[in-house]
Structures are given as structure tokens and as C-alpha cells.
Structure 1
Amino acid sequence: MIFNPVLLSLVVLLAVAVTLSAVFRRLTLPLIPAYVLAGILLGPHGLAWLADTADVRTFARWGVILLLFTLGLEFSPTRLREIRKNSLILALTLIGVQAGVGCILIRMLGWSWPLVVFLGFVLSLSSTVLVARQLSEQGELALPHGRLTLALSLLQDLLAVPLFMLAPVWLGRYGTGESWGTFAGVLARGTLVVVLLWMVGRGVVDRLFREVAKRKAAELFTLSVLLVTVTAAMLTQAIGMSAVLGAFLAGMILGGTEFRHQVEADIRPFRDVLLGLFFVSIGMLFHPAVLIRYGGVVGVGIAVVLVIKILTTAGISRMLGRDRETAWRAAFVLSPVGEFGLALMAFVPLSVWPDQNDGEIVLGIIIGSLLAGTVLIRFNRSLFHWIHARTVKAGEQSSEGLAPPDPTSFRDQVILCGYGRVGQNLARFLEQNGIPFVALDLDLARVRAAHQAGDPVYYGDATDLSLLEGVGLMYARALVIAYQDVQVSLKILSCRPA
């Protein structure tokens, strides 16, 4: 029996990818590291069951194009206006500081400035996919640190788009000695393309999808989405720009229409399959022997990246007015380098690296930070409480309403989870009827205002069973959930005393 080698390779790839994905899903870990590990295992430097062919790389690049398209859907003009100005300032400050620190440390290795600056920005990026998926599973997206990290990671992704556009000329032609005029010309041409495609594309795309929607044919709608994406990518590539820029603009145009959610649903299967193939191709570039020869260097690099990102994120967030818990928990969540870091590494020519192993060491650091980041995100609350218990005096906790009194002092009271408009109205009703209550909320300003008014409101995460027990859950008359977010409410309901 003779097997077709291409089909055999595809079967092996799918079998290993499915197995690893099932294991990672069982461990509630993100799937990106699973795809990368599949590439490492099956690639030319592993078991050599997969060849690093041009066809694989072509399909893999389309995964990145569709990823940028779906990112564009998140950044319609309406969505951009909704993002608070202080979140944008925080995102810009974080990238600037973290990239700057990274540049200083990397330059000490004696690497060229184009590579140093590029890697500094790459390592400062965080993972939107990892943040959104894992925080959603943990029921934390609606909490203050969840909302903050999602906004910051999306803004970082938006700021990463120019890197996809400029990376080839920055690391290629400019890196080999061409003038700043070449780089400035690419930037100016890119700006002009953005303006023209935006002005022309909005009217054309809107008319197209209105006509398609009238036909009520799902297949026609899906094909139209692919047509718009591929056409935009082709046009930008034809004039010497990156194809991902066109895909991102197409996503932004469709993101401002009423078809956005259906578009995202239709494109997701194509994106996930091709993006998985892209991360497999990234893994195929990595040489496992690097871990044997340079395991210590990779380990130190992972630790340095995580520590720098955690400390800078927590410190800058505090300086810009975020409360202590939100700042630290956001810092742990944003610490791993994101999927865009892996995607951007594909743009680095081998000739730019001082040594052929340097690129694989950096790739190992990024992959390692993703794996370590899953643990930091999973235990972000526990890590904050561990740090908080060792850095804050009991008197400071009490003044901010972070630590409620002894639980036995609460008997026959009603516990209010959330002290927003609904929670405050319920509190007034209970007060008028002589029913004692205690409330928990994560808005520190609201908690302090309530404390000054003499209300028994404390800072805390109501999804934490130990905290509910701390305000007398075992002695409570009732517990009322006053949150709008369904996931948070379900997580509170799942808390059961032992």
C-alpha cells in the first residue's frame, strides 16, 4: 500500500494537532502553544514528518491576514470612540516604556539597531486571544481588570498593525543600508492607501452587502466576505504594501456596518484553521536542540520579559489612577508576549540575526512566555492577594475598605454583590425596612464614597468564595446579585461552601 506523502503529512499533522488541542483544552490552556508544539514536534528539526514547504508558508500567511481582518472588525470608528482616552494614554505609555527598556537590554547584546527596535516593540505586545478567551472562561472579563486588559490588548494590536506594514522595509532594505527616505516613502504611501481605501471602500462594501443580504443566501454572504478580504489584501500588496494592511482596513470598514457579527461568524472557521497552520509553521522554524544548548538563556529571557512587563504595567497603571488590585491583576494578565509577536517574527530575515541560533532563542522566549502567561492569568487573583498581604499594612487596608470586619459581626443580613445603581436602590429599600445589609463592589471610588456616607460597603470580588464567607455568607439571610454581566453572576452562583 502506497500513501500519498502530502496527504500522509496532512493526516499526521491533523492527528497531532487534535491530540495536543484536546490535552490543552482539558488543562484549560490556550491552543496557540499547542499548535506551536505540534510544529516543533513534526517539523524538520523534530521528527521531520513535515517539510517546511512554500505551500505551507503561503497558507500560513493567509491565517495572519484573516487574523488582521477580524482585528479590524473590532476597531470600527464607533468602537474607537468608545475607548476611553485614558486607556489610550496607558496603552501608548506601556508600549513606549516596555519597548524602551527592551531596546536598552537587547542593545547590550551588540545587535543592530533596526533589529533591537523591532524586537523591543514585539516583546512589548500582549495576547488579545489569550486574554479574551481565558478571562472569559474564568468569568473575569466584566471585572475592572478584565475590562482594562481587554481594552489595552486591543489597543496594542491596533498599534501593531504598522509593524506588519513597515517590518519588511525596516528589517530588509533599511536594515541593509538604504536611506530614511525609503522608510518615509513606505510610511507616506501606506497613509495614502489607508485614506483612499477607507473613502472608496465604505460605499462599495456597504452596497455590496446590502444586495447580498437581500438574497438571504448564507453561502453568498460567506463568499462575499472572502472576496472583500482577499481583494483588499491584493490591492495593498500590488502597490508594494503588506497584504495584512488591506485585510485590516476591510475589517474596519465592515466593522462599522450592521453586518459585523455575521461577518465575524462566517470568517472565524477559515481564520482559525489557517491561523492554526501559521502557528504550526512557526513551530517548524524552532530547533529543539536550542533548549538543550541554550536552555538557561531562554529561561532567563522568559523571566526578564515577564518581570519587566509585570512591574511596568502595575507601576504605570497605578501612576495613572488605577486602584491597586486592578493594576496588579492587569499586569499579570498582560505579561505574556502575544500571538502578534509570533506572527511578526516571521518577517525577520535570517541575515539580520548576528548568529543563526539567536532567532530561535528569541522564538523560544516568546513561546515560553505564552506558556508561563497561561499560569499567571489563571492565578492572577491569588498572586495579587499574595503580594497585597506582604506589601500593605492592615491600617491602609481598612482605610480603603479592602478588609471587612469579622464575619461573625454580620448576622441575618443581606449580602449585595455589586453596589451600582441597582445595588444602591436595594440598599435604600432594605434600610427603610430595617433589614441589615453588607455590599461588595470592585469600584474603589464608589466604595470610598459609600464608606464616607456610613454604608457597609467593602471593596472585593464577589466571585471569591472566601470573601463571601468573610462577610458572613454562612449567617446571611439572603444574597442578591446586582451585576449585569451574566458570566460573573453565574460564577457567583457556582460558589458553594465546603
Structure 2
Amino acid sequence: MFYLPCCSLLPELFPVIAVSDGSMWKSLASILLLLGAALLLGTIAEQLRQSALLGYIAAGTLVGPNLLGWVSNQKDIFDLAELGVALLLFAIGLEFSLPRLRRLGRVPLLAGTLQVFFTLLAGAMVTAFLGFSIAESLAVGAMIALSSTACVVRMLNDRAELDSPHGRTALGILLVQDIAVIPLMLIVTALLNGGTPGDVILQLGLSLVLAAVFVIVFYGLFNFVLPRVLELSSLRRNRDFPILLAMLMAAGSAWSAHQLGLSPALGAFVAGVLLAISPFATQIRADIQPLKTVLVTLFFAAVGMFADLTWIAGHLGLVLAVVAAIVLGKLIITFGLAYLCGQPWQFALGTGLCLAQVGEFSFVLATVAHGEPGVSILSESTFRAMIAATIATLLLTPYLIQLAPRAAVMIRRLTQPNPLPPADQVNASSVETEPVSKTDSDSIIILGFGPAGQRVAGELLQVGLKQIVVIDLNHENLQIARQYGLQAQVGDATQIEVLEHAGLYRARLVIITLPSPTICRQIIHLVRQMAPGTSLYVRCRYHLHHWQLLAAGADVIVDEEEHVGECLAQQFLDSSLYQLMSRSSRETEENRDGHSP
């Protein structure tokens, strides 16, 4: 363990300040070292136009126990980092309501089930052919059957491909794999302890019952209890309470699933899906975003800590052979099954590339199978080879996912010597992305739907502009927006996640009607950073802040004090009092002119 010498020296010199044994601070020092190294190497990776995930994994390898040795308690850190995977799946679940999840279709469910079975079978057969025992072969096959939910979902989400055809199928298969973690864990544990097949079936049946209980309880909680809690006025007045509630739901769902013997990540995803129909889903996802980012980064750094570069260097040929066999084998199996289940070959190929790696839960299976000396079903060399191969496939994953949307076009060009005619080129490019319609790029976002926002929306609707999205933290205001027929979502507009979900990148105009100049400046900076071409119309409550908002980047500012002055003057000029005073003034002026010499 690496930590500053003063951490142990100060309590000896000043025992009064030694309020604890220091174990917590040592763990914190390890976490800070990992995050600092991840920040440094992740930044370098981005500068080299590589995925930051590569930098995070390299950071764990660098400061981990097998290289510099600054951080050695990898198990405790990995256990903490698993919460990051759960939060990631919870946030993704908030994007996938039950209707949208059903739209994934039968292909992911069928292909995922067959993929787990055939990959496990193929891995076990190959290792058994090489002379491994049946138990060790099954353990290796179980590890290979799983792909990385955290890595694939993170990359697809960052590349906005989670809703693409290959992205949807990959997500569906990953969910099936997360469900398969339960029986695979039972199988490996039974092999380790000598359990019978009947014991495995009994435990699996109990897990299914507990999973049903989990879904029923959380469905009732999120549909009948939570809406009434979130409408409390105290939650709207104090922003601390919604954030605490969001973390309680996200982490609590993962903990509950773990206590029931289920996959924490899968439990968090199910909870997110059940909560996705709530109007508060966007804000909840934004509230957990900071902690999710920290823990997911910590997770990939913790994965890198398992790498032993000395052992890998001495067995490089073996590691490369295992990596090649895993990547090619999983690519072929996943591609073939997705294609046979009805997915077009272009998308099936993309799905195969996305899932051609070994996942994070394989570390858990490997640790269980490795067991203690004398009760292990994995030899030391097999354990190290699988850990090294798993990390290597994770390092390859960003490149494979980048290749996935273009793979079909590249193969088509290689197999067709003549260049594609223009029409085919258009069809080929449409495989990668779906065009954004004109109406999708003409939307208007109104931030704040009090009296000012309602007046703006009313005027826009009268002239036929209906592509309007409203963001507000006040539930009553959002009900009014829905009565107008507008899209409305609960959210704090100072958070990037909320603006992204509202479609800022596609909006032509953002209208800020919020009274606080500080919040307005924060939002202006975010909009200018995320969508510099979007027009910004901003409310300014006091003339004092007019130039501050203009300097922040607002295009048009409606100064309330100036506007009030103009309106008051105009009201007076249109009144009969003005006519009377004007006539009296003219008469006075004429009398003065008549008496002048």
C-alpha cells in the first residue's frame, strides 16, 4: 500500500488528532491514487484519439499490486467499483421504459440465450480437448460466455449508438447474459463444492421466485409510493432531498438485488426500467451522474489492477492465442446466432463485434473458481491466462465498437470490385445512422414554465410552432405545459444530462425564463459549450445583470426593468390622461407665446 509518510507520522507526534486507526484514510488514498492516475492516463488517451477507457485500465495496471504496488487492496476497491456498474445500468434503465424494452423484439432474447449456451459449450469443448478436466473446462466456458455490460453500454452510449439496430440487439443480449450470471455462478459454485445438479436446479428456482418478488415490490414502490413522495413541496424547495432520494433508489435497488442473490447490475437496470415512465426519470439520472462517473471510472481502473505484466510478458504467446480464440470465436458465434434469429447480416456483424470480449462478471467467476489452495478448480496458470485475456479483450473493445457501424460497408466494398452507384451508397450510409428529420431539428426549449414561460409558449403556439420542450422543477407548472400539449420533463436545467435529454443538440432556440441571473449564466455557459449554434433568448430581471448575461453569450435579452419602463410609458401615452395633459400643456405653451413681446 502506498501513502504519504506523514499519514503515519502525524498521529505518533500528535496522538490527540489520531481519532481513528487510519484504515479509512488508507483506502481513500488508494481510491484517490487510482482516480488521479485514471484522470492522467485517460486524458493522454483522449489526446491520442483513443478511448479514455484504455487510459483507465492502464492506470489500474500502473499503480496496481503487480507493477508499482501503490494500491494493493484490489478486492475491496473492485467490490466498491461494482456499484458503478449498477449505477450505469440504472441510468440506462431510465432510458428504457417497458414499451421501449418490448420493442427490442425476440431477437435479443433468443440470440442471447443461444449465445450463452453455445459459447459456454464451445469454450468447454476446446479446453477439454486441450486436456483440461471437465470442471475446469466448464468454468472456463462460463467465463467466456459473458461479455462486458459496463464497457459495451458505456461505449455505445457515448457514441449515441445504443438505439441503433446493432446497439439494441447488443443491449438485449447483454441483459440475457446478466440474467445468466445467476445459473453460471451456481454451476461454478457446485463444481467447487461438489454440489449435485438437483441442488443447482433448486437454487435456480428459488432465484426465479425472488426475482419475481423483486419486480413486484419495486413496481408497487415506483408506481404508487414514489409519485406521492416526489410531489411533496419540501422536495421541490430543497434540492438536497431529490438527490438523496435518487441515490437511495439507485443504490438501494442494487443492494436489494444482491441481498436476494440476484445480479446487482441487473436489479438496478430493472429498477431503472420500472422508473422510466415517471416524469422525474431525467432528473434522477442527472442526480446520480457525478457518482456514477466516479465509480465507473474506478471500476475500469480496478479491472486494470488484475493485470500482471511480468507474467504476461513471460507467457505472451499463450495470452495472444487465448485472446484471438476468444475474440474470433465469440464474434462468429454471436454473428451467426443473431443472423439465424432474423437480424440482417450487417447488423448481426455489428452486434458480434460489440460482444467479442469477456466481461466484468468473469472476474467474479474466476475468483470463485480459483477458490482457496487445495479447493480450486482453476489452476494458477489458467487463472492468470484468463485474467490477462479478459483485460486484453476489454482493451480491444473500443476499437471493435468503433468498427461495428462501418464493418458491413467495408465488407461490401471488398466483395464488390465496382464502386457503389449513388443509390447504393445512400442505402449503405443509412445502415450506420438514421437521418434527422427537419422537425426534429426545429425544436424550441423553454427553461422555466412560470407565468413568463407560459406566455411565451402561448404566443408560439398561436403562430403554429408546436415542437416545444419544457423543463421545470415545479410539478404543477409541468401539468400546465402538458395541458398546452407540450413535451414536459422534470429537471434542473443547470445539469448537462437534463439538457441533452431534452434534445439541446437538435434545438434551434433555447428560451430561458428563469428569474435567477446566476442560474441563467450557468445555463448560458452550458448551452454555448454543448450547442454553440443554438440561439439563446434570456430573461433579465434587473438591468444590473443585462451586460453580464450578454457577455456570457446570450443572443437576445429581455430586460424587465427596461421593458416595464417602456410599457408604463406606452400605457400612459395611450391613456386619456395623456391626452388631457398634452392638451393642457399645448394651451399653456400657446398662452405663453401670445403674451411674449
Could you state the TM-score of these two structures normalised by the residue count of structure 2?
0.60
**1:73–1:254 CA contact under 8 A, matched in 2:** yes
**Quick check: 2:111–2:337 contact (8 Å CA) kept in 1?**
yes
Matched residue, 2:381: 357
Conserved 8 A contact 2:85-2:150? no
Q: Give the whole-Å Cα distance in 1 for the aligned partners of 2:387 and 2:111.
A: 27
Secondary structure at the counterpart of residue 4 of structure 1: helix
1:328 aligns with 2:345: no
Which residue pairs with 1:211 in the alignment?
A: 229
Which residue of 290, 294, 302 maps to 2:311? 290
**Paired residues for 1:175-324 under 5 Å:** 175-206=192-223, 207-214=225-232, 215-216=235-236, 217-238=238-259, 243-244=264-265, 246-324=267-345
Q: Which whole-Å CA distance do the structure 2 matches of 1:381 and 1:244 have between them?
A: 27
Q: Hey, what's the Cα distance between the residues in 2 that align with 1:194 and 1:318?
A: 30
AA partner of residue 164 (structure 2): R
Q: 1:3 corresponds to which residue?
A: 6
Deviation, structure 1 residue 224: 1.5
Equivalent residue for 1:424?
none
| Cα separation, partners in 2 of 1:481 and 1:260, compared to 1, 3 Å | closer
| 1:76-225 correspondence to structure 2 within 5 Å | 76-113=97-134, 115-127=136-148, 129-131=150-152, 134=155, 141=161, 147-206=164-223, 207-214=225-232, 215-216=235-236, 217-225=238-246
**Following TM superposition, by how much is the alpha carbon of 1:49 offset from its aligned partner in structure 2, in angstroms?**
0.7
C-alpha distance in 2 between matches for 1:48 and 1:368: 21
How many Å apart are 1:163 and its aligned residue?
3.8
Q: Take 1:462 and 1:228, find their aligned partners in 2: how far apart are those partners?
A: 38
Write the deviation string for residues 442-462 of structure 1: whole angstroms up to 9, x where unpaired: 3xxxxxxxxxxxxxxxx5459
Q: How far did residue 105 of structure 1 move? A: 1.5
- The C-alpha deviation readout for 1:216-248, integer Å capped at 9, x for no partner, is 243212212222344444445445556556444
Report if the CA contact (8 A) 2:58-2:301 is conserved. yes
Q: State whether residues 131 and 150 of structure 1, in contact with CA within 8 Å, keep that contact through their aligned partners in structure 2.
A: no
Contact 1:128–1:150 under 8 Å retained in 2: no
Q: Secondary structure at the match of 1:29?
A: coil
Query: Cα distance 1:481–1:161, how it changes in 2: closer, same or farther (>3 A)?
Result: closer
Structure whose alpha-carbon radius of gyration is higher: 2
Note the C-alpha offset of 1:363.
Answer: 1.7
8 Å Cα contact 1:69-1:247 kept in structure 2: yes
Q: 1:31 aligns with which of 38, 45, 52?
A: 52
Relative to structure 1, the CA distance from residue 45 to residue 138 in structure 2 (aligned partners, 3 Å threshold; closer, same or farther) is closer
Q: CA deviation at 1:179?
A: 1.9
Give the 3-state SS of the residue equivalent to 2:83 in structure 1. helix
Where does structure 1 lack aligned partners over 5 or more consecutive residues?
395-401, 406-437, 443-458, 465-479, 491-498
Q: 2:42 aligns with which of 16, 21, 24?
A: 21
2-structure distance, mates of 1:344, 1:34 = 25
Q: For the Cα contact (< 8 Å) 1:335–1:373, is it kept in 2?
A: yes
1:388 paired with 2:405, answer: no
Q: Which residue of 2 aligns with 1:404?
A: 421
Change (3 A) 1:97 1:180: closer
Higher relative contact order (CA 8 A, sep 6+): 1
Change (3 A) 1:392 1:106: farther
2: distance between equivalents of 1:279 and 1:310? 23
Alpha-carbon distance in 1 for matches of 2:120, 2:402:
26
Structure 2 match to 1:425: none
Query: Which digits, 9 at most, give the CA deviation of each residue in 1:234-277, with x for residues without a partner?
Result: 44544555655644443343234333332222223222322332
1:362-441 alignment runs, 5 A limit: 362-380=386-404, 383-392=407-416, 403-404=420-421, 441=426
Query: 1:418-440 CA deviation, whole Å, 9 max, x = no partner?
Result: xxxxxxxxxxxxxxxxxxxx685
1:52-110 superposed Cα distances (whole Å, 9 cap, x missing partner): 16643442333344344345445543232211223433333444433332232133244
**In structure 2, do the counterparts of structure 1 residues 173 and 218 end up closer, same or farther at CA, with 3 Å as the change threshold?**
farther
1:343-401 CA-to-partner distances (Å, cap 9, x unmatched) read 6555544343432132221122122122223223334466545543444576xxxxxxx
Quote the offset at 1:294 in angstroms. Answer: 1.2
Q: Which residue does the alignment assign to 2:498?
A: none
Mapped to 1, the partners of 2:195 and 2:267 lie a distance apart of: 26
Tell me which moved more, 110-119 or 41-50. 110-119
Distance 2:191 2:110 in 1: 30
Q: 1:485 to 1:175 in 2, by over 3 A?
A: farther
> How many angstroms apart in 1 are the aligned matches of 2:81 and 2:121?
31
| Pairwise CA distance, 1:295 | 0.8
Structure 1 length-normalised TM = 0.70
Unpaired runs of at least 5, structure 2: 9-25, 442-502, 507-597
Q: Which amino acid aligns with 2:347?
A: T
In 1, Cα distance between equivalents of 2:216 and 2:436? 47
Q: 1:133 to 1:236 in 2, by over 3 A?
A: closer
Q: Which amino acid aligns with 1:298?
A: V
- CA RMSD in angstroms comes to 3.7
Native 8 Å contact 1:171 1:349 kept in 2: no
Residue 190 of structure 1 deviates from its aligned partner by 1.6
Contact 2:63/2:305 (CA < 8 Å) preserved in 1?
yes
